[in-house]
A and B are shown apart, each in its own frame.
Chain A
Amino acid sequence: MNIDKKIADDLVANDIRFVTTVPCKQLAGVIEEVDQRDDIFHIPSNKEDEGMGLCAGAWMGGKRPAIIMQNTAIGVTINTLATLIQYYRMPLPMIISYRGELREPVACQVEMAVHTKALLAQLNIPTYHFHWQRDVEEFDNILKYTFMCNKPVAILTDANFWGGYGDQ
């Protein structure tokens, strides 16, 4: 299964037409896939809170959004999640590279990984963790759930899900 293609297919099938991204090595394939889709407007952000602002505006303008980012972004975006996305009750699927988990080669990444689920839980953000490639089968349901409840929803995707780091 090509999980990059599957994720992009599910985004399109759920009428998500506006995707902003902040890059991550693990996410490079899915970002490229999203960029190549004619059905999706892809706009890179310089920072994740900026990206959430773009998504909020796109949704109010009638386009379903999504953001693709690293888990370090949870540290950057707590205020935006609480005072914009949650306070105004907006849907936002967050496809998150879960750095610092099993098969992670960079020790510093673990420092935010150990806080990631706790922070999401503190914010009452529904959170899903993809560890095996087959977990992606739930992605379509998660997108439907997000736009049913108008909440930010986190999909954490770890290195094992993406197939590790090769020789690193």
Chain B
Amino acid sequence: MIRSEILKDIAPILRDKLVVCNIGIPSQELHAIDDQPTNFYMLGTMGLASSIGLGLALAQPKPVIVIDGDGSVLTNLGTLPTIGNNAPSNYILMIIDNGSYGSTGDQPTYTGMKTDLAGMARAAGCDNVVEVQDVDTGEALQKAIEDGVATVMVVKCDSGNAKMPVISMDPVVIRDRFMKAVAG
């Protein structure tokens, strides 16, 4: 499976949850598959999805699911110790690890070589790290939500992107409707 197939699979689980989605094609795919006011789409700032989601989870009690990527986590590795030492029980970081920088043309990342993101998360202090195969994502995500403990999911899948339109929504509109959904 590629990322867009996973997103289609888990869209019913994500629908009423607060979702912070990674820059580029992941946000375009989620937006095209099931746009919701509870989705915060990143239009820029590679690497910060996990941090934005952590701040959000610490500030309010609703479950927060971050859809991140291997390349983006690699660009903000300092996030893992911060998560490991501070993540509250309503925080789920789902790293779609396809071993490539999808939005820039599928150049390989180091996680397709020797680097193990799950191992890095554990070493950073994340207590609950689960490695998941693409087909099992929905089941693992549902379990993480029901368990109610801070979770880092590393979802292994194939490299590749669906052809989706660029998000044309104004960033202030994305942010404003998201904040209303958070407060609602």
Q: What is the number of residues of chain B that contact chain A, defined by CB distance less than 8 Å? A: 34
Q: At the interface, yes or no: B82 with Cβ under 8 Å from chain A?
A: yes
Q: At the interface, yes or no: A52 with Cβ under 8 Å from chain B?
A: yes
- For window 37-91 of A, CB contacts with B under 8 Å fall at 41, 43-47, 49-63, 65, 79-80, 82-84, 87-90
Partner of B51 from A18, A44, A54, A63 at Cβ < 8 Å: A54
Q: At the interface, yes or no: B24 with Cβ under 8 Å from chain A?
A: no
Q: Which residues of chain A have C-beta atoms less than 8 A from B48's C-beta?
A: 49-50, 52-53, 56, 80, 84
Q: Which of B26-34, B113-121, B125-133, B171-179 contacts A (4 or more CB under 8 A)?
A: B171-179
Are the C-beta atoms of A18 and B45 separated by less than 8 Å? no
Mark contacts of A6-26 with chain B using CB atoms, 8 A cut-off: 1 yes-contact digit, 0 otherwise.
000000000000100000000
Q: Which residues of chain B have C-beta atoms less than 8 A from A46's C-beta?
A: 78-79, 81-82
Are the C-beta atoms of A88 and B171 separated by less than 8 Å? yes
- Provided the pairs A43-B82, A90-B175 are in contact, do residues A56 and B55 lie with their beta carbons within 8 angstroms? yes
- Provided the pairs A57-B59, A60-B175 are in contact, do residues A43 and B86 lie with their beta carbons within 8 angstroms? yes
Q: At the interface, yes or no: B150 with Cβ under 8 Å from chain A?
A: no
Most buried by A among B45, B49, B60: B45
Q: Which residues of chain B have C-beta atoms less than 8 A from A57's C-beta?
A: 20, 51-59
Q: Which residues of chain A have C-beta atoms less than 8 A from B50's C-beta?
A: 53
A-B contact count (CB 8 A): 114
Are the C-beta atoms of A62 and B59 separated by less than 8 Å? yes
Partner of B43 from A49, A51, A53, A87 at Cβ < 8 Å: A87
Q: How far is the CB of A111 from chain B (nearest CB, A)?
A: 23
Q: At the interface, yes or no: B44 with Cβ under 8 Å from chain A?
A: yes
Complex Cα distance, B170 from A89, in Å, reads 11
Complex Cα distance, B183 from A90, in Å, reads 16
Partner of B55 from A49, A65, A83, A87 at Cβ < 8 Å: A65
Are the C-beta atoms of B182 and A62 separated by less than 8 Å? yes
Q: How far is the CB of B48 from chain A (nearest CB, A)?
A: 4
Q: How far is the CB of A157 from chain B (nearest CB, A)?
A: 24
Are the C-beta atoms of B55 and A53 separated by less than 8 Å? yes
A interface bracket (residues with beta carbon within 8 Å of B): 20 to 34
Complex Cα distance, B183 from A47, in Å, reads 29
- Provided the pairs A18-B58, A57-B55 are in contact, do residues A79 and B182 lie with their beta carbons within 8 angstroms? no
Q: At the interface, yes or no: B63 with Cβ under 8 Å from chain A?
A: no
Are the C-beta atoms of B59 and A53 separated by less than 8 Å? no
Q: At the interface, yes or no: B107 with Cβ under 8 Å from chain A?
A: no
Q: At the interface, yes or no: B76 with Cβ under 8 Å from chain A?
A: yes
Q: Which residues of chain B have C-beta atoms less than 8 A from A60's C-beta?
A: 40, 52, 55-56, 59, 175, 178-179, 182
Q: How far is the CB of B90 from chain A (nearest CB, A)?
A: 10
User: Nearest residue in A to B66 (C-beta to C-beta)?
Assistant: A57
Are the C-beta atoms of B78 and A50 separated by less than 8 Å? yes
Most buried by A among B43, B57, B86, B175: B175
Partner of A43 from B44, B58, B182 at Cβ < 8 Å: B58
Mark contacts of A96-110 with chain B using CB atoms, 8 A cut-off: 1 yes-contact digit, 0 otherwise.
000000000000000
Instruction: Give 15 pairs: A residue, B residue, CB < 8 Å, sorted on A.
Output: A46-B78, A49-B76, A51-B51, A54-B58, A56-B51, A56-B55, A60-B40, A60-B59, A60-B178, A60-B179, A61-B58, A61-B59, A79-B44, A80-B48, A83-B44
